[in-house]
Chain A
Amino acid sequence: MNGHSKLQDMVGPQDSVELLGALQRGATRRDLLAMLAGGGMQLTLAAGVAGTALSAHAQTPRRGGRIRVAGATAGISDTLDPAKMANQTDYSRGNMLYNGLTALDGSLTPQPALAESFTTKDARTWVFKLRKGVAFHDGKALRPADVVFSLLRHKDAATASKAKALADQIDSVKASGDNEVTVTLVQPNADLPVILGTFNFLIVKEGTTDFSTGIGTGPFKLKEFKPGVRSIVVRNDAYWKPGQPYLDEIEFVGISDEGARVNALLSGDLDLVAAVNPRSVERVRTTPGYAIFSTQSGQYSDLIMRKDMGPGANPDFALAMKYLFDRELMRKSIALGHAVVANDHPIDPTNRFFFAGLPKRPHDPEKAKFHLAKAKVGSARIPVVTSPAATYSVEMALVLQQSAQRIGLNLDVKRMPADGYWSNHWLNSPVGFGNVNPRPSADTLLTQFFKSDANWNGSRWKNDTFDQLLLAARAETDPAKRKQMYADMQVLIHQEAGVGIPMFLASIDGHTTKLKGLRPIPLGGLMGYAFAENVWLEA
């Protein structure tokens, strides 16, 4: 086990990132002890943690080498245009070639990137100070005009940006100095730096119309790009992060067949592959020279019970179903341990706003029976719509069906094809499964899936208190107050929404043990798709 993951096991991803960050800024062992003790840790334990952090930091990256990496998707729609980036293959390439104003760390907290600092007084007007001495791959210096162009193009419908809905909250972007950009929002949003740290908001050169050259400020320069086949990037020697990147060259391919991906890894053709099935994990782990890199994230598959029709109209039915979930069994037998048990609210433990104080809902058939009796469902068959499109939904529904049978509830599991599931069945079925990918911020997630008027509010749960809390939390700049508001919202969803969330899933990657430097960033696998500038090859 390497030092990073050991450290994480000891203190969790958030603290481990903080500790390593402090070390990078030159903190000493004494500083670390003070940090940990300040966080309430016992001194003996803190000493051990500080030691592990120091040894993780001591793994010095080596320069040089070439790796081949495979993502899980490939197609003619592969793009280097940040506005159109849609999947992990695009995101990984984006992080090789471009930078954002900010970058998200292991707890999804925004850290300075192209913006040296970002400040606001009211969460509505934001001032971003740009880093000096940053140049694009063609030698041109980064100017405020590039940032203005990169952000405002998402608002233009003709760009057909994936981030249009997010960009619509931007009122104006102006150059307010030689190295300064001021962003004004329509309404306050304390999470703007988080949003600007996501893939679609990577910074391109002013006036770019042809994105096939991939000219950005990123750690690598584009050497070859064939959509649907592969891309090759080479080290950008003028990169603004001192010493980085470590690798000389990366070849990135997309292989959609999981078996082919894992076989290519184990035959030595690839050094890092994304999206390994839990069923292949043992195979990779037991082969000498290979290891598994698991990223726990906020991805989940949820049971949606509509409140405006069907059995879910009765709140007792939704509660009964939530008590029926045998979460531990699902975690062990379906995800094979690559998941954490969830508590019927969508904020996962890696998130800085996760509310740990909420009591876990147990698997309790007696309580379920009680609520079911109150809901007067009787012995009618209740269809539950599932599909391979929503990860593990078929398996979860079958486990649920068995638990239901024992208390006399008749669930009818309907398995739909993946093609067209999202447009035809998701959000339309009275009782059915959905799947939500990790979102960069709690605000984005709750706004998209739980606000009363949200397009994807699957259970049609309407709650004024929640909506008010959501808007207030978005405008709040005091972290402690925000945390309390998000805790209140999690309690509301846990108790009232027609959504059952049994577990948060992990993204699993496989790699050669020679590849070092991988740390989880819960945006997804491959280090939140930002592995390129952070990994190195051991000699």
Chain B
Amino acid sequence: MNLLILRLLAGRIALALVSLLVVSAVVFSITAVLPGDAAEAQLGQEATAESLAALREQMGLNVPAPVRYWQWLSGLLTGQPGMSIVSGTPVADMIASRLPNSLLLAGVTAAISVPLALALGIGSAMWRGSWFDRMASSGAVAVVSVPEFLVATLAVLIFAVQLRWLPALSSASSIDSVGQMLRVFAMPVLTLCCVTVAQMMRMTRAAVVDQLKAPYIEMVQLKGASPTRMVLAHALPNAIGPIANAVALSLSYLLGGVIIVESIFHYPGIASLMVDGVAQRDMPLVQTCAMLFCAVYLLLVTLADLCSIVANPRLRHR
């Protein structure tokens, strides 16, 4: 089993490195195709030929694109993702100031949404066809169909503007106590849960229901196992694979895909940093963010695969 996991890990890491390289090349060439460069973005209407040339020289934009790509790549390999060409500060510092905020938000959301989604999903599968199943399933569809900006804006209107229970802005740097943290995170986490819970829950339900229809479950019933034991001990381990993958997909979204929540609640996370970088054509920043999102995604998917191997006896003992 260990050998299998090691082989899988080695293969995954090699593949991950290749994917990262390909992604960085693709991101670089796409941003190079975007109209305008960082110098034009900064000078805007006031651009003159002379100041454009001077600024390009300062930003290092007059170096040919492949050379710039190579400089950035070799820098990254030595742990130095370069300087932001817009603000002149190290990209590593900019990311370091935002990443903890994003991880905190993603962590809190995951800690609430994953157990909730799994419980709802397994419950629906166990009592499928019951009023609980119908409520949970249709509720999930309803919630996932509402766009998150609407959920967020409605939450702000109700809880911040009308009731004044919660702050409308979640500036992460002003948290002093646990109570304050709960107040600050309540609405962003609620919004994100609405998006992620539904997907994970429906995947869980589908996977478990799929297993419950299998012939071996009939055997389990015949031997007299209780319904709870039947689901948790027999069906669930076989369903872990798809569930883990659904969880991994939802979690990877929580890091880079939460731009709407970040902008409505003015939360200083990494998604808005990257969008900013694209708007300002700040190549080193955009690429390093892209690398980060890609790496996290690969990591989560690999973890999900490992989970399914460890949890599934047939894969484990092959």
Contact = CB atoms under 8 A, between A and B. Distances in A.
Interface of A: 75-77, 79, 84, 86, 157-165, 226-230, 253, 255-257, 259-260, 263-264, 266-270, 420, 422-423, 456
B196 interface: no
Contacts of B277: 76
Q: Among B46, B53, B157, which residue has the most Cβ atoms of chain A within 10 A? A: B46
Contact of A263 (B35, B50, B97, B156): B156
B268 A160 contact: no
Contacts of B46: 162-165
Contact of A75 (B266, B268, B280): B280
Interface stretch (B118-126, B137-145, B167-175, B291-299): B167-175
Given A228-B273, A268-B164, 17 more contacts: A75-B276, A76-B280, A76-B282, A76-B285, A77-B86, A79-B87, A157-B50, A164-B50, A165-B48, A228-B268, A229-B171, A230-B171, A260-B168, A263-B157, A267-B160, A269-B168, A422-B45
A260 B164 contact: no
A63 to B, nearest CB: 24
A270 B167 CA distance: 10
B148 to A, nearest CB: 13
Interface string B84-99: 1011000000100100
A164 B44 CA distance: 13
Q: Among A76, A255, A259, A456, which residue has the most Cβ atoms of chain B within 10 A?
A: A76
Given A157-B51, A229-B268, A253-B171, A423 B35 contact: yes
B15 interface: no
A485 B316 CA distance: 90
Interface residues of B, number: 46
Contacts of A263: 153, 156-157, 160-161, 168
Given A226-B268, A268-B164, A260 B156 contact: yes
B282 to A, nearest CB: 7
Contacts of A255: 169, 263, 266
B43 interface: yes
Task: Name the 8 nearest CB pairs between A and B, nearest first.
Answer: A267-B160, A157-B54, A160-B55, A267-B168, A264-B168, A229-B268, A162-B46, A157-B50
B265 interface: yes
B186 interface: no
A424 to B, nearest CB: 8
Interface string B67-111: 000000000000000001011000000100100000000000000
B269 to A, nearest CB: 10
A76 B285 CA distance: 10
Contacts of A157: 50-51, 53-54
A77 B87 contact: yes
Contacts of A227: 87
A76 B263 contact: no
Contacts of A420: 35-36
Contacts of B285: 76
Given A257-B263, A267-B161, A161 B51 contact: yes
Contacts of B50: 157, 164
Given A260-B263, A260-B266, A266 B161 contact: yes
Given A75-B276, A76-B282, A160 B42 contact: yes
A401 B34 CA distance: 34
B169 A264 contact: yes
Majority secondary structure of chain A interface residues (helix, strand, loop or mixed): loop
A226 B54 contact: no
A227 B97 CA distance: 11
Nearest to A283: B161
B62 interface: no
Contact of A76 (B54, B153, B160, B273): B273
Given A76-B273, A260-B263, A263-B157, A164 B51 contact: yes
Contacts of A264: 160, 168-169, 266
A337 B268 CA distance: 36
B116 interface: no
Interface string B27-60: 0000000011001011111101011011101100
Contacts of A456: 45
A97 to B, nearest CB: 18
Contacts of B44: 86, 162, 422
B266 A259 contact: no
B282 A257 contact: no
Contact of B279 (A75, A79, A86, A268): A75
Interface string B154-184: 0011001100100111010100000000000
Contacts of A77: 41-42, 86-87, 276, 280
Contacts of A165: 46, 48
Given A76-B84, A77-B86, A160 B157 contact: no
Contacts of B161: 263, 266-267
B308 interface: no
22 contacts: A76-B86, A76-B94, A76-B277, A77-B41, A157-B50, A160-B39, A162-B43, A162-B44, A163-B46, A164-B48, A165-B48, A229-B268, A230-B173, A253-B169, A255-B266, A260-B156, A260-B169, A260-B265, A263-B161, A264-B168, A420-B36, A423-B35
B245 interface: no
Contacts of A79: 87
B167 A269 contact: yes
A163 B167 CA distance: 40
B272 interface: yes
Contacts of B263: 255-257, 260
Contact of B87 (A76, A164, A268, A270): A76
B169 A269 contact: yes
B264 interface: yes
Contact of B54 (A158, A228, A260, A269): A158
B233 to A, nearest CB: 48
A84 B266 contact: no
A456 B153 CA distance: 40
Nearest to A224: B173
A267 B55 contact: no
A423 B40 CA distance: 10
